[in-house]
Every structure is written in C-alpha cells, then in structure tokens.
Amino acid sequence: MSAVRRSVRVMLRLRDLLLICVLVAAVAVGVFELGRHVDSESSHLAGQDSELAQSVYRPTHKSGPSRHTIELAAGAIGGTAGVLILLSLGSALARPRRRTWRASN
C-alpha cells in the first residue's frame, strides 16, 4: 500500500472521528438547552401555584447522601460512560482494516 493511500485513509478516519464528536456535542447541547427550558418553565409555573408556597416537612435527622453527592456521582458515571464510548469509537476507527480473501470451492 502506498504512503499516499495510507495517509488518505488516516485522514478519512480522523474526519469520521471529528464528525462523531460534533454529533455527540450537538446532541449534548440540545439536551442541555431543553433541560434549561424545562427548568425555567417549571420555576415560572411553580411561582404561580399557591400550594407550592407552603412549608415542606423535613426530618430533624438527615440520613443518606446529600444532593451534591448524588449529582457528583451521576456526573462521574455519565462522564466515564462518555469517555469509554469515545475511546471505543476511536479505537474502532484507528484499527487497520484488513480484508482476508478466501478461495471458495
């Protein structure tokens, strides 16, 4: 295989990887914007509801993890899953594609 053909394949794989990253980023931005809109709308509607202004029962002794801990754990798990997916896609694109020809009888 010539060096030119090999460099073209590498460039095509890099382009594919870049397109995958752009697609994942676009989905992430869309989900973020949708969540922000839903949160804003929910806060606006909650401000108009008189029942939501009442005090909420809270136990005197707090047990279990805090909200911050739960959010941190969920973010770590989601981030790890995203990194694993990107590494898997990257290794699949970087793997040389060899064709094996078998003689048929």
Share of the chain above pLDDT 90, in %: 15
| pTM check: above 0.85 | no
Res 7: pLDDT: 83
Judge whether 40 and 105 are in contact, CB under 8 Å. Answer: no
Classify 97 as helix, strand or coil: coil
Instruction: Return the domain boundaries, the chain.
Output: 20-47
Res 34: pLDDT: 92
What is d(CA 86, CA 21) in angstroms, rounded to the nearest whole number? 8
Pick 76 or 45 by higher pLDDT: 76
Tell me the pLDDT tens digit for each residue of 54-87: 766 666 667 777 888 888 999 999 999 989 888 8
Neighbours of 43 (CB within 10 A): 9
What is d(CA 13, CA 21) in angstroms, rounded to the nearest whole number? 12
